[in-house]
Amino acid sequence: MLMLFSLLCVLVGVSALFRTGQSFTTWPPEWFVVGFEVIVLISSAMGLMIGRTRIRGFREGPALAMACVAGATLVSVASSGAASGTGFTSLAADPFTLARIALAMAMGALAALSVLARQPRRSLRALVIGGVLCAGALVILVSAFIPGVRSALGSLNPILVTVGVVIASMLFITLVSVGGHCIIRAFEYGDEDAPQHAAAATPAPGGKPNPGSPPPAPAKA
């Protein structure tokens, strides 16, 4: 997975060099584009160091480092595309920028998968449940803006509409809260230190605590 992440970083870095060269074909150069592309180059270089595990901190937390690189790349690429066009509305008309955004999103997906793959059975189960619940909340939110639904509600008794809106709002908040909690738990299952902490806190046979476990609390008189 780190090898694939390194490959994506190489592609992003090459695209940043290409976009930087393009910005110097006009006069004056597009300095805002150059500035954002420098950030993209730095991010791709950091990503390569993560893939090569040259820095100890990256070896201890590669997923978080990968997510940071992906986020910095995504924001910088989108900002660079907006600076070279007519704003963020011009991104949809630029296939090159859209491809680079897709690369940044793929980098973020690899960061997420590197955490979920540590305990795939528990993580994927919680992730699927959270996704289904959040999808239900999205259905409620989108239905509120459908003209047919709004016209149907307008023909009902105002009291019934008010009660229905309150119930739908409570259901929406519940689905978002529970779904978001399940998604967060899916990534918490990937905490590599959790089994070590649990083992340290479990007494060894014979009633003696394991090495590294905290001392027992003093008994109250």
Nearest one of 146, 117, 126, 162 to 1, comparing CA atoms: 117
Token pair in block for residue 50: 């993560």
Q: Give the pLDDT score at 86.
A: 56
pLDDT for 103-147, tens place per residue?
989 998 888 888 888 888 888 899 999 999 999 999 988 888 888
Of 86 and 73, the one with more pLDDT? 73
Nearest one of 65, 190, 196, 66 to 126, comparing CA atoms: 190
Single pTM value for the model? 0.64
Residue 144: DSSP 8-state: T
Region 50-58 average pLDDT: 61
pLDDT for 164-220, tens place per residue?
889 989 999 999 999 999 998 888 887 755 554 444 445 555 555 555 555 555 554
Average pLDDT of the chain, as a whole number:
79
Question: pLDDT tier at 100 (50, 70, 90 boundaries)?
Answer: confident
- Pick the range with the lowest mean pLDDT from 17-31, 44-58, 119-133, 192-206: 192-206
Evaluate the omega torsion of the peptide bond into residue 205 and state whether it is cis, within 30 degrees of 0: no
Return the percentage of the chain with pLDDT > 90, whole number: 14
Q: Give the pLDDT score at 200.
A: 47
Q: Give the pLDDT score at 134.
A: 93
CA distance 105 to 39: 17
Inform me whether the pLDDT recorded for 54 exceeds 50: yes
Inform me whether the pLDDT recorded for 35 exceeds 80: yes
For 108, phi then psi, to 5°, come to: -65, -35
CA distance 91 to 95: 8
Of 61 and 165, the one with more pLDDT? 165
CA distance 2 to 52: 8
Q: Give the pLDDT score at 201.
A: 46
Inform me whether the pLDDT recorded for 17 exceeds 70: yes
Q: Give the pLDDT score at 90.
A: 63
